[in-house]
Amino acid sequence: MAKRKINIITLGCSKNMVDSEYLVAQLTGNNFEVLHDSNDESAKTVVVNTCGFIDEAKQESVNTILNLARAKRAGIIDRLFVFGCLAERYKKDLIAEIPEVDDFFGVRGLQDVVKAIGGDYKESLVGERVAVSPAHYAYLKISEGCNRHCSYCIIPKIRGKHVSVPKELLLNQTRKLAERGVKELLVIAQDSTSYGIDLYRRKCLAELLHEISEVAGIERIRLHYAYPAGFPAALLAEMRDNPKICKYLDVPFQHVSDKVLRNMRRGITRKGSYDFIEKIRREIPDIALRTTLMVGHPGEGKAEFEELKQFVREVRFERLGVFPYSEEEGTYSAREFNDSLSNKQKRERADEIMLIQNKISAELNSAKMGKQYRIIIDGEEGDYYTGRTEYDSPEVDGEVLIPRAEGKLLPGEFVDVKIIATEDYDLYGTRA
C-alpha cells in the first residue's frame, strides 16, 4: 500500500526550519512519505509551520493558511494542520476565523501534531532531524527561547525562557549531519551567545563550537544571532583561533542612539556598541559583520535617525538588513509607547539606510578584485555555478558566480577562486 503523503510548509526563520526537520524525522519514522514546501497535490495532508514575529511575517502565515483552506474547500487536500509561533499567539482567534483547519498547535506542539496526523510520537527519535536544507549545509539550533527583555519583541512570550540544548545531543546531531554530507553548520538560536547559562550555569558557546569543530566532515561553522552585550571573551578567542569557525558574525544591533536603545531595553549603549565593534575588528581584522537594524521604533526622532545613518556610514558593516518597527500587542513597547510614525515613513527610513548600505557594500566588494577566496559551491544559476566565501551566509548574503564553462562543480565542493568582477552584493570569479 502506498505511503500516505504529508506536505510540511515552513514559514519564518531558520529556527522554524529546524522544528520542521524534527517533525519530518518523526513522521518518516511513522512510515509517512514527507514532502517539504512541495506543490505536489498528491499530498492530501498539509502541515503549516507558522511565524508570528512581526506584521509582515504574520500576514504571510495567514495568507498561506487561507490559501490552503481554499484548497481544502475545493477538495484538493483533505486535512490541514497549523503549528508554530502564529498558532501559539493567536490560537483562539484562528480557530474562530479559519474553521477549515483541522487543528492548531503551539510551538511545543510537535508531539500533538504527530498524533493528530495519525502517528505515534517516538521517544527514540527525539532530537533526530531530517534536514530540508541543501545537503551540504544545515542549521544547528542550540537553544530555544530567550531571557532578554527587548521591549519590541514578542518572542520570549511565544518561545518562553532560554533553554539550551544539551551539548551531547548537539554533538550527536552534528555527527549525523556530517555523515550525511553536511560541510557547513549554521549555529542559530534566539540569543546564541547565552548558550549554557541555564544548563551549565555559565556561557559556554566557545567550548561547544570547539567540540563541534572536531567532528569529522564539518569544515565551516557560522555563528548567527549573537547578542552584542556581554559577548564572552572566550568566544572571541575561539572565533579568532579556530580555522573552522567562519570569520563571520551575525550580531543584531537594532539601533545606536542611547535614547532609542534605552526605549528598546537592549542593555547596551551607543559607546558600548562602538567599543564592541572596535574590539571584534581588532581581534579578528578580516571578520565580516552582519547586523540587523530597526527603524521607526518609538523614540526615534529625526536626530536619532541621523545618528543611525551615521552609525551605518562609520561602521561600514559587511552585511546589513533593516526592518521597520512593527507594534506587537503584548510587548512592552506597545504598552508604554506611542507608535507615532506611519508605515510609509518607516519604509522610507528603511530605504534610506539600504541606500547607504548598497554603496558601502559595492565599495567593500570592489576591494576584493583580484583577490583569491575558498568557495563552497551551493548550486547553479544560468551559465554559472553559485558559491559562497566564508564571509557569506546562505540565503541572506551575497554569492560568488563561477562560469560553468570552467568545468563541473558539485554542491558542497570547495574551490579556490580569483575575483574578476564585482557588483553591489555578488562577486564573479574564475577558478584559481
Instruction: Give residues in contact with ligand SF4 (CB under 6 A).
Output: 146, 148, 150, 153, 155-156, 190-191, 227
Give the Cβ contact number of residue 343 at 10 Å. 13
Looking at the Cβ atoms of 191 and 219, the one nearer to ligand SF4 is 191
Burial environment of residue 276 by CB neighbours within 10 A (0 to 12, 13 to 18, 19 or more): middle
Sheet holding 45-50, edge to edge: 33-36, 5-10, 45-50, 79-84, 103-105
- Which grid cell is 406? 570552467
- CA dist., res. 133 & res. 103, Å (int): 27
Looking at the Cβ atoms of 191 and 390, the one nearer to ligand SF4 is 191
Looking at the Cβ atoms of 332 and 425, the one nearer to ligand SF4 is 332
CB of 152 to ligand SF4, least distance (A): 7
- CA dist., res. 319 & res. 72, Å (int): 42
The per-residue b/e assignment along 321-332, b for 16 or more CB within 10 angstroms, e otherwise, is bbbbbbbbeebe
Residue 355 makes CB contacts below 8 A (sequence gap 6+) with none
CB of 162 to ligand SF4, least distance (A): 8
- CA dist., res. 28 & res. 5, Å (int): 10
- CA geometry: angle at 270 spanning 338 and 352, to 5°? 65
CB of 139 to ligand SF4, least distance (A): 16
Give the Cβ contact number of residue 6 at 10 Å. 27
Looking at the Cβ atoms of 84 and 387, the one nearer to ligand SF4 is 84
Looking at the Cβ atoms of 17 and 113, the one nearer to ligand SF4 is 17
CB of 288 to ligand SF4, least distance (A): 21
CB of 194 to ligand SF4, least distance (A): 9
- CA dist., res. 205 & res. 227, Å (int): 12
Looking at the Cβ atoms of 144 and 184, the one nearer to ligand SF4 is 144
Closest CA to 139 of 192, 202, 206: 192
- CA dist., res. 223 & res. 188, Å (int): 7
Looking at the Cβ atoms of 350 and 375, the one nearer to ligand SF4 is 350
Looking at the Cβ atoms of 190 and 333, the one nearer to ligand SF4 is 190
- CA dist., res. 137 & res. 182, Å (int): 5
State the pairing for strand pair 137-141/103-105.
unpaired
Contact 45, 61 (CB under 8 A): no
